[in-house]
């Protein structure tokens, strides 16, 4: 197969769930023996996860970053001479008779939770990518449900649901002794992972209802803003919280292992990778019972209808019971076995072959 990967996501973010997804695909795609070329921009090197993959220089078709703020929304102009599968990391497509476009749809955050001009530009880009796709990969049944709601005419037989995987970097550590990188005593803190800026992530709500008997470790999501520091200083005590900044999977695994629980207050997710990561590390999960979260967490997390001081405190008190905690951890470890990047890639690769065979039979 001739496959062209569009690495635009590495120029749009420094880290994040889509970067994780794309990096895992690249690692496995490079091992297939197929002819794969990567469309990329020089600032891709600023992405933390791009540095985890070793793409041979001869396989990179590098473009300049001039006007990238506009190019990110446009179809790349490329000379295509042979049948090719084009898979973009973020909603671009090639309009060419020899190209079959594959699009990964991660969520419908903009449709549900954003506004303003940026929302409508994004929606237009996503609309054209989906309309011009030979096949759509949704990362959860909930995302597929949203896809069918917003694009009811898109054929079911061109949609595949492929769950995200979980890195092998996450696992249960047998001995829970203190660790030099650990900022708090084991089981004395909750951990929050990822983006805090988007309102649907409910970080502000979490802080306003946070209990005073536990510390809070805030991993990833960039440096704290002045507004966040004011919020934390108002509702939490000095020394009760700590930001890690960008954190390696090795350290994040340690943090998960020693945490009382991952608290995941987001009200909307396409998948929610931290839930599966935490469970694979033997960390209980407290999350909202909404969107894809119950689909990913199954019956192995403490899911609440809404996030309040009372619901959070009740979930924490449940984990104080040894039998409940052990049951939740055991169920979480079992649940996390469902999510494998090897399995995810195998299903996506099968989808490529299906699209390739159809393209070459025309």
Q: How many domains does the chain have?
A: 2
Q: Is residue 181 part of a domain?
A: no
pLDDT value for 168:
96
Residue at 50 is within a domain: yes
pLDDT given at position 182? 86
Whole-model pTM: value is 0.94
pLDDT at position 286 is: 98
For the stretch 223-269, pLDDT in tens is: 999 999 999 999 999 999 999 999 999 999 999 999 999 999 999 99
Query: Which CATH number is 125's domain given?
Result: 3.40.50.2000
Q: Tell me if 179 is assigned to some domain.
A: no
What's the pLDDT at 177?
65
In the prediction, which pLDDT does 176 show?
A: 66
What local confidence, expressed as pLDDT, does residue 263 receive? 98
Q: What is the pLDDT of residue 362?
A: 76
> What confidence score (pLDDT) does residue 270 get?
97
What pLDDT sits at residue 178? 65
Nearest CA-CA partner of 102 in 279, 338, 323, 347:
347
Q: Are 157 and 196 members of one domain?
A: no
113, 222: one domain = no
In this structure, the answer to whether residues 245 and 318 fall within a common structural domain is: yes
pLDDT < 70 regions, the chain:
176-178
Q: Is 180 within a domain?
A: no
Nearest CA-CA partner of 5 in 48, 41, 50, 38: 38
- What's the domain range around 141? 2-165+341-361
Q: Give the per-residue pLDDT at 320.
A: 96
Nearest residue to 354 via CA among 216, 155, 157, 138: 157
Beta strand pairing status for 99-105 and 135-138? Answer: parallel
Q: Classify residue 177: in a domain, yes or no.
A: no
- pLDDT of the residue at 180: 72
Position 118 scores a pLDDT of 87
């Amino acid at each position: 197969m001739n496959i062209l990967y569009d690495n635009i996501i590495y120029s749009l973010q420094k880290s994040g769930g889509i970067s994780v997804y794309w990096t895992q695909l690249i690692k496995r795609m490079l091992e297939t023996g197929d002819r794969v070329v990567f469309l990329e921009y020089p600032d891709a090197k600023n992405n933390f996860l791009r540095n985890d993959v070793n793409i041979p220089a001869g396989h990179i078709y590098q473009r300049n970053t001039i006007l990238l703020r506009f190019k990110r929304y446009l179809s790349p102009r490329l000379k295509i001479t042979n049948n090719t599968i084009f898979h973009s990391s973020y909603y671009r497509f090639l309009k060419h008779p020899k190209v079959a476009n594959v699009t990964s749809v991660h969520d419908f955050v903009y449709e549900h939770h954003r506004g303003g001009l940026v929302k409508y530009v994004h929606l237009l880009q996503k609309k054209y990518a989906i309309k011009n796709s030979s096949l759509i990969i949704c990362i959860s049944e909930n995302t597929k449900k949203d896809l069918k709601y917003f694009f009811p005419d898109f054929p079911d037989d061109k949609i595949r649901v492929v769950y995200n995987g979980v890195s092998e970097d996450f696992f249960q550590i047998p001995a829970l002794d203190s660790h030099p990188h650990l900022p708090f005593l084991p089981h004395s803190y909750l951990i929050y992972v990822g983006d805090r800026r988007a309102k649907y992530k409910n970080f502000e709500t979490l802080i306003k209802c946070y209990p005073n008997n536990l510390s809070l470790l805030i991993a990833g999501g960039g440096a704290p803003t002045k507004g966040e520091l004011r919020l934390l200083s108002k509702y939490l005590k000095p020394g009760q919280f700590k930001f890690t900044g960008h954190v390696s999977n090795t350290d994040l695994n340690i943090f998960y292992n020693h945490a009382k629980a991952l608290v995941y207050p987001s009200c909307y997710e396409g998948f929610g990778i931290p839930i599966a990561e935490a469970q694979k590390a033997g960390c209980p999960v407290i999350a909202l019972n909404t969107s894809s979260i119950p689909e990913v967490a199954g019956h192995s997390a403490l899911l609440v209808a809404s996030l309040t001081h009372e619901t959070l405190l009740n979930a924490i008190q449940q984990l104080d019971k040894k039998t409940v905690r052990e049951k939740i951890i055991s169920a979480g470890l079992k649940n996390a076995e469902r999510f494998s990047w090897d399995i995810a890639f195998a299903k996506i690769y099968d989808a490529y072959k299906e699209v390739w065979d159809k393209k070459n039979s025309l």
